[in-house]
Amino acid sequence: MTDVLGEGVTITKEGETSAFGGEILTVNFGPHHPSTHGVLRLIVDLDGEQIKRIKPVIGYLHTGIEKQMEALRWQQAVTVTDRHDYLSPPINNLAYALAVERLMGVDVPPRAKALRVIMSELTRLSSHLVWLGTSGIELGAMSMLMYCFRERDTILDMNEEISGFRMHTSYIRPGGVMADATPRFLEMLDRFCRTMPGYIDEYEALLTNNPIFRQRMIGIGRLSAEDAKVLGASGPMIRGSGVAWDLRKAYPYSGYENYDFEIATSNMCDCYGRYLVRIKEMREAVKILRQALDRLPDGPVNVDDRKMLPPPREELETSMEAVIHHFKLFTEGYSVPPGDVYVAVESGRGENGCYISSDGTHKPRRVKFRAASFVNLQALERMALNHMVADMIAIIGTADTVLGDCDR
Partner 1 sequence: MISEKLIVDKGTSAGDDWITVDAANVHEALSGLRDEGYRMLSFLTCVDHLADSSRKWPARFEVVYQLRNLESREQIRVRAFVDGDPPHIDSVSDLFPPANWDERETYDLFGIVFRNHPDLTRILMPDDWVGHPLRRDYPVGGEPVEFSEEHERWQTAPEKA
Partner 2 sequence: MGKNILTTTLGKVVGWGRGNSVWPAQFGLACCAIEMIATATAGVDIGRFGSEAMRASPRQSDLMIVSGRVSQKMAPILRTIYDQMPEPKWVISMGACASTGGVFNNYALLQGVDKIVPVDVYIPGCPPRPEDLLNALMILQERIKAQGILPRQ
Cβ–Cβ under 8 Å, residues 206 and 144 = yes
Among 18, 28, 68, 210, binds partner 2 (CB under 8 A): 68
Contact pattern from residue 234 through residue 263 relative to partner 1, giving x for each residue in contact according to CB under 8 A and a dash for the rest: ---------x-x----xx------------
**Alpha-carbon distances of 37 from 25, 135, 257, 401, 405, rounded to whole Å:** 24, 9, 34, 7, 12
From the list partner 2, partner 1, none, which binds 328 (C-beta under 5 to 8 Å, kind-based)?
Answer: none
Q: Is 307 in the site for partner 1 (CB under 8 A)?
A: no
**Cβ atoms of 394 and 220 closer than 8 Å:** yes
Q: Of 258, 123, 285, which Cα lies nearest the Cα of 200?
A: 285
Nearest to 286 by CA among 129, 91, 132: 129
The verdict on 77 binding partner 2 (CB under 8 A) reads no
Residue 83 touching partner 1 (CB under 8 A): no
Tally of CB atoms within 10 A around 325: 21
Sketch the per residue contact string, 109 through 138, with partner 2: x for CB under 8 A, - otherwise.
---------------------x--xx----
Strand bridging mode 176-177 / 172-173: antiparallel
Which of partner 2, partner 1, none binds 167 (CB below 5-8 Å, type-dependent)?
partner 2
Per CB under 8 A, the list member of 50, 60, 186, 323 interacting with partner 2 is 60
> Binds 214, which of partner 2, partner 1, none (CB < 5 to 8 A, cut-off by type)?
none
Q: Which alpha helices (DSSP H) does 20-109 contain, by range?
A: 65-70, 77-81, 89-104
When CB distances are held under 5 to 8 angstroms depending on the partner's kind, the choice from partner 2, partner 1, none that residue 287 binds is: none
Q: Within a 10 A sphere around the Cβ of 298, how many other Cβ atoms?
A: 7
Show contacts with partner 2 in window 384-403 (CB under 8 A).
403
33 binds partner 2 (CB under 8 A): yes
Task: Determine if 231 is a binding residue for partner 1 (CB under 8 A).
Answer: yes
Which among partner 1, partner 2, none contacts residue 357 (Cβ within 5 to 8 A by kind)? partner 1
